[in-house]
Structure 1
Amino acid sequence: MVAPRTPLAVRPLALGAGALVVVLLLLAGRYGYHRDELYFRVLGQHPDWGAVDQPPLTPLVARAETALLGDTVTALRVVPAVCASAYVLLLALLARELGGGRGAQLLAATGALGSFPLIAGHTLSTATLDLVTWLGALLLVTRALLRGERRCWLWAGVVVGLGLYAKLLVALLLLGLLAGLLLVGPRRPLRDPLLWAGALLVLAVGAPNIVYQIVHGFPERDMAASLAAHKGSTARATFVPLQLVMLGPLLVPVWVAGLLALLRRPEWRPVRAVAVAYLLVCAFLLLSGGQPYYTLGLVAYLWAAGCVVAARWRRGLVLAAVVVDAAVSAVIALPLVPLASLGSTPVPVANQVVRDSVGWPAYAQEVAAVWTSLPQAERAHAVVVTANYGEQGALARYGPELGLPRAYSGQNQLWHVARPPDSATTTVLVGFGDAGEDWLHERFGSCTVRGRLDDRVGVDSEEQDEPVRVCTGVREPWSRLWPRFAHLD
Structure 2
Amino acid sequence: MSLNRFARGPVGLVVAAQAVVLTLFSGRYGFHRDELYFLAAGKRLAWGYVDQPSLTPLLARLSTDVFGATPAGLRVAATLCALGTVVLLALVAREFGGGRGAQVLTAAITALSAFVVVDGHMLSTATVDLLVWSALGLVVLRLFRTGDGRWWLAIGAVIGIGLESKWLVLLMVASIGLAVLAVGPRTVFRSGWLAAGIALALALAAPGLIWQASHDFPLLTVASGISEDDGAENRILFVPMQLLYLSPVVVPVWIAGALRLWRDPDLRWARSIALAYPILCVILVVLGGKPYYSAPFLLLLTAAGADPCLRWLNRTWRRALAAFLALIGAAVSLVVGLPLLPVSALEPVLVVNKELGEQAGWPELASTVARVRSQAPTAVIFTRNYGQAGALEHYGLPAVYSGHMSYADWGPPPDDAGPVVVVGPYLPEWFTGCREVAVHDNGLGVENEEQGVRISLCAGTSRPWSELWARMRHYY
- State the TM-score bracket (shorter-chain normalisation): over 0.9
- Structure 2 match to 1:370: 372
- Report SS of the residue matched to 2:312: coil
1:271-299 Cα shifts (integer Å, max 9, x gaps)? 12122221111111111111111112211
Alignment CA distance shift 1:165-1:310 (3 Å) = same
1:384-434 Cα shifts (integer Å, max 9, x gaps)? 000000000110111x2xxx32211111111001211111232111012xx
Unaligned runs of 5+ in 1: none
- Structure 2 match to 1:78: 76
- Structure 1 match to 2:192: 193
- Report SS of the residue matched to 2:457: strand
Amino acid at match of 1:33: F
Q: Are residue 391 (structure 1) and residue 384 (structure 2) matched?
A: no
Distance 2:333 2:227 in 1: 28
**TM-score w.r.t. length of structure 2:** 0.96
Contact 2:160 2:203 in 1 (8 A): yes
- Structure 2 match to 1:481: 468
What is the 5 A alignment of 1:342-421?
342=346, 345-374=347-376, 379-380=377-378, 382-398=379-395, 400=396, 404-421=397-414
Task: Quote the offset at 1:473 in angstroms.
Answer: 4.1
What is the 5 A alignment of 1:234-253?
234-253=233-252
- Structure 2 match to 1:304: 303
Which residue among 86, 91, 94 is the counterpart of 1:93? 91
- Report SS of the residue matched to 1:206: helix
Amino acid at match of 2:6: L
Distance 2:223 2:173 in 1: 18
Which residue among 290, 313, 322 is the counterpart of 2:326? 322
Distance 2:408 2:36 in 1: 16
Moved over 4 A (4+): none
Distance 2:404 2:227 in 1: 16
Distance 2:223 2:386 in 1: 17
What is the 5 A alignment of 1:19-168?
19-110=17-108, 111-168=110-167
Q: Are residue 13 (structure 1) and residue 11 (structure 2) matched?
A: yes
Contact 2:343 2:445 in 1 (8 A): no
Amino acid at match of 2:16: G
Distance 1:149 1:313 in 2: 34
- Structure 2 match to 1:459: 446
Task: Quote the offset at 1:141 in angstroms.
Answer: 0.7
Contact 1:53 1:219 in 2 (8 A): yes
- Report SS of the residue matched to 1:469: strand
What is the 5 A alignment of 1:274-289?
274-289=273-288
Unaligned runs of 5+ in 2: 314-318
- Count how many residue pairs are aligned between Structure 1 and Structure 2: 470
Task: Quote the offset at 1:69 in angstroms.
Answer: 1.5
Contact 1:5 1:97 in 2 (8 A): yes
Task: Quote the offset at 1:341 in angstroms.
Answer: 2.8
1:113-166 Cα shifts (integer Å, max 9, x gaps)? 111111111000011111111111110110110233432221121111112111
Contact 1:251 1:321 in 2 (8 A): no
- Report SS of the residue matched to 2:260: helix
- Report SS of the residue matched to 2:166: coil
Contact 2:147 2:188 in 1 (8 A): no
Contact 1:348 1:459 in 2 (8 A): no
Q: Are residue 228 (structure 1) and residue 227 (structure 2) matched?
A: yes
Contact 1:244 1:252 in 2 (8 A): yes
Task: Quote the offset at 1:317 in angstroms.
Answer: 3.3
